[in-house]
Amino acid sequence: MTKINTTLLLAVCMVAALVAGCSGSTGTPDTTPTTPTTPTNPGTTTPTDPGTTTPTDPGTTTEPVTPIPVSLKVWSPSEDQNPDLGEWVVTMCNQFNELHPEWDITFEYGVASESDAGKMVPQDIDAAADVFLFGSTKLENLCNSDSLTEWGGKYKDAVTANYPASLVDCLTYDGGLYGVPITTDTYFMYYDKSVFTEEDVKSLDTMLTKGKVAFPLANGYYLAAFYLANGCTFFGADGSNRADGIQVGGAKGTAVTNCLVDLVQNENFIVAEPADAISMMREGNCAAYICGTWQATQTKEILGDNFGVAILPSVMIDGVNCQIRPFTSAKAVGVKSTTAYPEVALNLALYLASYEGQKAHYELRGYVPCELKLTAEVQSDPICLVDSETVTKIAISRASYTEFSYYWSPAESMGTEIRDGIVTHENAAEKTEAFKVAVNSSGIG
């Protein structure tokens, strides 16, 4: 694998700025930081272009510098520390240490999934890792507990310049940026190319005339895609306006509900979770289904040369062809607000999510990259291509607001009632308005 020494380059652009917790009360990194020189560093860097290196003159001599001892605790999922899977996080941390002779870093590793880290860090921030992976849907919880360092100055510039805006939005809270994306979390469509053509899969209505399509309608994560298709919003158009709430009612929402009532009456439209749908595909009872990257390998094995993948199709809603739009969120690398070594921790976080870090993660574990330069280089991989198109063209950033939790149970009930024929054209307006009320209420009191 060709190595792009991203963070070696970042070392000479250390930002002379303060780092603040999510509250922002103790200051944010200066947006115009100074760039001190590191005598032992053989290169220079511009954070917004992690892949660019300017070597020093080989004839130049420098005085030896005594490395500063640093101790960092790093949390990651167990798979990223598994020797049989390449020990991604351990490998990258060791490389980072080797690239920085100005620091003598001792790493302590702990196991925490992205979801678990979002819960564990606020519970005991002093015992938490300095650098950890987390899901952006936990962002509000982490920020309300003042658990994350806010990224400013050239650190923020590096993130906003090198990652999709929709993912940066997922990591932005009250105007502050609190992490760097390492991969996406969205969904699209797998299909059998012996049943559907590339033109067919652009339209759900067309597909349903040719074969069976499974959609997890009783799961709010997927149900929302139809309401988003018709202009309904979840905390504003870009998911950043808490006051707007979840707007799935009115004429727009009712039109979607009526569309879904028609779809479930079509014998080729199957309501099934991804795990069930892939089993049906294996048995020849389903020719397309909706899922994310996590079932790509199994689906390829089932379909072989007929393996197809595409962004979600359009669907006719009240006579208008509408693009079905999924949520997207980010898996990210964050730095705790109380780390004793913010400069080192921020640069390590950038390195893990850099071109080189994501390239290694993709090759070792199949993680779909989201660093823009690397994304452009892996377009020959159909999963990476479709994931990128989804995130950059049609996906809606999923808010991390705690009020989102009100949505899931009513959404499951709504999807189930549509599937079971309890929701009809006759009561669609009434059911849709009740749905809107329910998803904007805690259900308490």
Query: pLDDT tens digits, residue range 255-304?
Result: 999 999 999 999 999 999 999 999 999 999 999 999 999 999 999 999 99
- Looking up tokens 């920085």 gives 100
Residues 209 and 275 grouped into a single domain:
yes
pTM: 0.84
Residues 177 and 311 grouped into a single domain:
no
Indicate the DSSP class of residue 31: S
Whether 401 maps to a domain, the answer reads: no
- Looking up tokens 């590793």 gives 109
Residues 333 and 321 grouped into a single domain:
no
- Distance CA(382)–CA(367), nearest Å, equals 13
Residues 380 and 415 grouped into a single domain:
no
CATH of the domain at 263: 3.40.190.10
Query: pLDDT tens digits, residue range 59-105?
Result: 455 567 799 999 999 999 999 999 999 999 999 999 999 999 999 99
Whether 445 maps to a domain, the answer reads: no
Count the alpha carbons within 13 Å of 401 in the hemisphere toward its beta carbon: 23
Whether 299 maps to a domain, the answer reads: yes
Whether 402 maps to a domain, the answer reads: no
Whether 305 maps to a domain, the answer reads: yes
Whether 1 maps to a domain, the answer reads: no
Query: pLDDT tens digits, residue range 358-404?
Result: 999 999 999 999 999 999 999 999 999 999 999 999 999 999 999 99
Strands 188-192 and 307-310, bridge-based pairing: antiparallel
Query: pLDDT tens digits, residue range 98-128?
Result: 999 999 999 999 999 999 999 999 999 999 9
Count of domains observed in the chain: 2
- Distance CA(112)–CA(123), nearest Å, equals 13
Residues 13 and 133 grouped into a single domain:
yes
- Distance CA(114)–CA(107), nearest Å, equals 19
Residues 171 and 231 grouped into a single domain:
no
Residues 203 and 125 grouped into a single domain:
no
What was the pLDDT predicted at 38?
33
- Both structure tokens of 254: 């009712």
Residues 386 and 414 grouped into a single domain:
no
Helix H or strand E segment including 106: strand 103-111
Residues 212 and 304 grouped into a single domain:
yes
> What is the extent of the structural domain holding 261?
188-325+407-439
